[in-house]
Amino acid sequence: MASSPPARPSLSASSPSPLPSAPCPSRDSVVAALRTAGCVFAEDEAALLMAAARTAGELTALIDRRVSGLPLELVLGWAEFRGLRVAVAPGVFVPRRRTEFLVDEALAHAPHASVVVDLCCGSGAVGAALAAALDRPEVHAADVDPAAVRCARGNLADAGGRVYAGDLFDALPEVLRGRVDILAANVPYVPTAEVALLPAEARDHEPLVALDGGADGLDVLRRVAAEAPRWLAPGGCLLVETSEAQAPAAVAAFTRAGMTTRVAVSEELYAHVVTGVRDQRDRHL
């Protein structure tokens, strides 16, 4: 996953909770503390922290955690993703707003998908968003990190999602071969040498396995592309997120695997999604 400017926190998933009038920190003092700590959207973050706290003591603790550098989503225990409140936990990759574009692209290609796989699922945000948008799909997810698996199981429970621990396709049940309509793989794609340049919130608080994509950032992507056609249903699609510079090499990897490939770009989110589609006539993989 590539570095990006901080996203403005959304207030739509929160509802204010009453706080004692004293000695609760004032809104202005909370904003000032966050601004001094370098929080770009201090006003929005202050509103979220004040809504999350039930007492003045809790608010003070939340502020202290945020000022110490803990990502806002980990302070709150959730991140908003495509209108959903997705639980996150220490050591789990926090979903980025730009990845909502990957979900949009998946739904545009397969609006009636019945079998969905969220590979390298992290918190399970992509799988949860697809489950919410589709008509009761069969949802599967997998991650190599046990902390991510635990988190995703909670986030996908309401959708009846099944979450597996293991390395990429090795984690999935064989019964899924040739049946997957949407295979969303938010693979790590930061080149190894650039991991140290990531913002501290990612570098210091998210697992390296969710960030480091190898020398050019595409090691995991190539593995996924090579194996994906065996798991896709005819006409099924594989979607991955890349950087602008990596997109041509990602397209080449998809094409070598025999998929019809295209790149979609969201200028607003600075997001690049590569989609590969298995030929409808190809029924012999």
Q: What one-letter code names the amino acid at 144?
A: V
Average pLDDT over residues 68-88: 94
The pLDDT value given to residue 207: 85
DSSP for 80-105, written as a single string = EETTEEEE--TTSPPPPGGGHHHHHH
Q: Please, which pLDDT band fits residue 206 given cuts at 50, 70 and 90?
A: confident
Average pLDDT over residues 87-101: 94
DSSP state of 194: G
% of the chain surpassing 90 pLDDT: 77
Q: Please, which pLDDT band fits residue 105 given cuts at 50, 70 and 90?
A: very high
Lowest-confidence pick of 10-14, 26-30, 205-209: 10-14
d(CA 122, CA 112): 24
Lowest-confidence pick of 124-138, 152-166, 201-215: 201-215
3-state secondary structure of 138: strand
In 3D space, the residue among 241, 135, 245, 123 whose CA is nearest the CA of residue 181 turns out to be 135
Choice between 18 and 75, residue whose per-residue pLDDT is larger: 75
pTM of the model: 0.87
